[in-house]
């Protein structure tokens, strides 16, 4: 199972690298075309925006695994015993609630996203925002694992002390 999880996150990182590389090439190419030939490729602008959306959501998943999101761990580290457990459980429940709200909003917005298309590429926005479903589900599963860990009486691992890669 750990191997599968490892390769899942490696695949996410690979897609992020591809998105970033493609964005750099398209944006740089457009800059050169505009300054040298006084023209540009409209498709590359829209695709760059779409890839930035994917990069953001995939980055949120990877950052969650690595403990890279903004947090109040400075306060939680100073807590001990029951107060630390309560603070950790409360934070995990809040993140789970945020994932639920994101997923609910995506479900409500799904019909609109299917009907809307990119003006230049013609891509359905449902494809563009499908990565948000993956984000909500992946972070939600990580949080559920953390909640089970807390309920078993174990402390959550410190992301700065563990190697997530």
Model confidence at 53, in pLDDT bands (50, 70, 90)?
very high
Tell me if residue 117 falls in helix, strand or coil: strand
In Å, what is the CA distance from 110 to each residue of 50, 68, 103?
Answer: 17, 29, 10
Rounded CA gap, 88 and 153, in Å? 12
| pLDDT confidence of residue 81 | 85
Give the distance from CA 49 to its chain's centroid: 16
Rounded CA gap, 165 and 163, in Å? 6
Q: Which pTM does this prediction carry?
A: 0.84
Taking only the tens place, the pLDDT of each residue in 79-134 is 888 888 898 899 899 999 999 999 999 999 999 988 888 888 888 899 999 999 99
R_g of the chain computed on alpha carbons? 20
Q: Residue 19 burial (CB < 10 Å; 0-12/13-18/19+)? A: buried
Model confidence at 144, in pLDDT bands (50, 70, 90)?
very high
Q: Which residue carries 């959501």 as its tokens?
A: 57
Rounded CA gap, 147 and 99, in Å? 14
Contact 58, 16 (CB under 8 A): yes
| pLDDT confidence of residue 164 | 47
Model confidence at 165, in pLDDT bands (50, 70, 90)?
very low
| pLDDT confidence of residue 17 | 96
Instruction: Work out the mean pLDDT of the chain and round it to a whole number.
Output: 89
Asked if residue 143 has pLDDT above 80, the reply is yes
Asked if residue 163 has pLDDT above 90, the reply is no
């Amino acid at each position: 199972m750990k191997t599968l999880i490892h390769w899942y996150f490696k695949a996410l990182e690979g897609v992020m690298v591809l998105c970033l590389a493609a964005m750099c090439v398209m944006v740089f190419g457009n800059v050169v075309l505009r300054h040298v030939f006084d023209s540009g490729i409209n498709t590359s602008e829209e695709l760059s925006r779409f890839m930035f959306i994917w990069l953001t959501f995939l980055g949120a998943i990877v950052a969650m695994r690595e403990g890279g999101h903004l947090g109040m761990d400075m306060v939680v580290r100073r807590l001990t015993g029951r107060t630390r457990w309560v603070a950790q459980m409360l934070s995990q429940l809040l993140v789970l609630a945020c994932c639920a709200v994101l997923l609910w909003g995506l479900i409500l917005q799904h019909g609109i996203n299917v009907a809307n298309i990119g003006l230049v590429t013609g891509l359905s926005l449902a494809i563009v925002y499908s990565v948000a479903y993956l984000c909500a589900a992946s972070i939600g599963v990580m949080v559920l694992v953390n909640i089970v860990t807390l309920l078993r009486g174990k402390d959550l691992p410190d992301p700065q002390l563990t190697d997530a890669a």
